[in-house]
């Protein structure tokens, strides 16, 4: 398994590229942002997409693949590269295309959202949705390079910044050490301090991925901390992914404490952080709206489910030590009820 190079710069490093040998797959929204438009204009071969889960629908894949082949128009594809410019759904889709186009062409990820810059652009997962479930068809296809462009990320609206906060909070808790120290003592979150924390947060993800790149031992699943209830909140309450993960984290942290895994002192420290307080309020509002029947079926659909009535849930022993435990769907429902009543 090869690993990716992550490169940070203020602007897109156009001089390192020969745009003629690249196919740019980009989110049409970026034409509206100055930094995005500037990049897009430089590529003669490009394919515009509308971001979102519909892009990842397997039913749309043949049409996209044939349009992309037509865009390439029988060009010599020997040194072709695919550049994915956009957020999570664009990266998942374009990554899958790169992995299967002419039996695979090198991929460069250029995440345009804080969420994708901190999380989904890294680690090589690509995916399409099929049969009503996410990422059922996909590949492990690590990008050759990931370009993190400050101007591009800064052109995103504030809501998107909050969306990155959930994954930052998660990876800091998984990593522990200095990253957690920095994140736990944040007084606010803005583009400037998120940009500064990005390299450490990204490195922390690679440390986990390198130990289990293709999710064979299960170790990589600790990256799902906050995701089990997060996915239910995301799907049933239509809350954005990063925000839902932040709320799912609060749930997982409280449960880790309740189960006696996370001790009083560590929990108190986490609880006093700015990030915890932000997401705690949101979780409380979500828990009020959460329908238990829908949650139950949501949990059963979750990809971490290992058999009909049980699933792996990621809990935290202390910052830097996430653990995977088998629980029943009923255990989760009971904990939701307990936290509803808090």
- Site residues (vs a second copy, CB under 8 A): 58-59, 61-62, 65-66, 69-70, 76, 78, 96, 99-104, 125-127, 130-131, 133, 135-140, 214-215, 306-307
Q: Which is nearer to a second copy, 16 or 66 (CB)?
A: 66
- Nearer to a second copy by Cβ, of 127 and 226: the residue is 127
Instruction: Report the SS3 class of residue 309.
Output: coil
CA distance 277 to 102: 49
Phi, psi dihedral angles at 273 (to 5 degrees): -75, 150
Three-state secondary structure string covering 5-66: EEEEECCCCHHHCCHHHEEEEEEHHHHHCHHHHHHHHCCCCEEEECCCHHHHEHHHHHHHHH
Closest to a second copy by CB, 235 or 237: 235
Comparing CB distances to a second copy, the nearer of 144 and 150 is 144
Which phi and psi angles does 73 have, rounded to 5°?
Answer: 50, 50
Gap between the Cα atoms of 26 and 138, Å rounded:
19
Shortest approach of a second copy to residue 303 CB, angstroms?
9
Least CB distance to a second copy at residue 78 (A): 8
State in angstroms the smallest separation of the CB of 307 from a second copy: 6
Question: Given the complex with a second copy, which of 187 and 307 has the nearer CB atom?
Answer: 307
| 129/162 with CB nearer a second copy | 129
Closest distance of CB 103 from a second copy, Å: 5
H or E segment at 40?
helix 34-41
User: Taking Cα atoms as reference points, which of 102, 105, 84, 104 lies closest to residue 93?
Assistant: 84
CA distance 317 to 321: 5
CB 96, min distance to a second copy, A = 8
Q: What gap in Å lies between CA 204 and CA 284, rounded to an integer?
A: 29
The full length of the chain comes to 342
Q: Which of 219, 165, 172, 214 is nearest to 188 (CA)?
A: 165
Q: How far is the CB of 300 from a second copy (least distance, A)?
A: 9
CB 98 to a second copy: min, Å: 11
> Is the distance from CB of 90 to CB of 107 less than 8 angstroms?
no
* CB nearer a second copy, residue 126 or residue 295: 126
């Amino acid at each position: 398994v090869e690993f990716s190079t992550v490169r940070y710069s203020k602007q897109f490093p156009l001089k390192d590229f020969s745009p003629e040998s690249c196919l740019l797959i980009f989110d049409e929204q970026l034409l509206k942002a100055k930094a995005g438009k500037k990049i897009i204009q430089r590529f003669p071969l490009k394919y515009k997409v509308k971001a979102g889960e519909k892009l990842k629908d397997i039913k749309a894949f043949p049409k996209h693949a044939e349009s992309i082949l037509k865009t390439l128009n029988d060009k010599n594809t020997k040194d072709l590269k695919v550049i994915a410019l956009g957020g999570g759904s664009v990266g998942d889709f374009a990554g899958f295309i790169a992995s299967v186009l002419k039996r695979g062409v090198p991929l460069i990820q250029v995440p345009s959202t804080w969420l994708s810059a901190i999380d989904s652009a890294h680690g090589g997962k690509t995916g399409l949705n099929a049969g009503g479930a996410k990422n059922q068809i996909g590949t492990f296809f690590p990008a050759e390079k990931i370009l993190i462009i400050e101007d591009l990320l800064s052109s995103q609206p504030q809501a998107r910044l909050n969306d990155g906060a959930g994954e930052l909070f998660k990876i800091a808790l998984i990593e522990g050490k200095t990253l957690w120290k920095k994140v736990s003592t944040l007084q606010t979150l803005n583009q400037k301090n998120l940009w500064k924390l990005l390299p450490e947060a990204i490195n922390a993800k690679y440390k986990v991925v390198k130990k289990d790149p293709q999710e064979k031992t299960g170790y990589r699943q600790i990256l799902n901390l906050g995701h089990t209830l997060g996915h239910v909140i995301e799907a049933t309450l239509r809350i954005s992914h990063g925000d839902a993960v932040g709320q799912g984290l609060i749930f997982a942290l409280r449960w880790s404490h309740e189960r006696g895994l996370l001790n009083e002192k560590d929990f108190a420290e986490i609880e006093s952080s700015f990030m915890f307080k932000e997401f705690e309020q949101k979780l409380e509002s979500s828990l009020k709206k959460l329908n238990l029947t829908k949650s139950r079926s949501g949990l059963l659909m979750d990809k971490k489910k290992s058999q009909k009535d049980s699933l792996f849930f990621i809990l935290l022993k202390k910052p830097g030590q996430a653990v995977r435990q088998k629980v029943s769907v009923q255990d989760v429902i009971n904990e939701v009820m307990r936290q509803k009543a808090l």
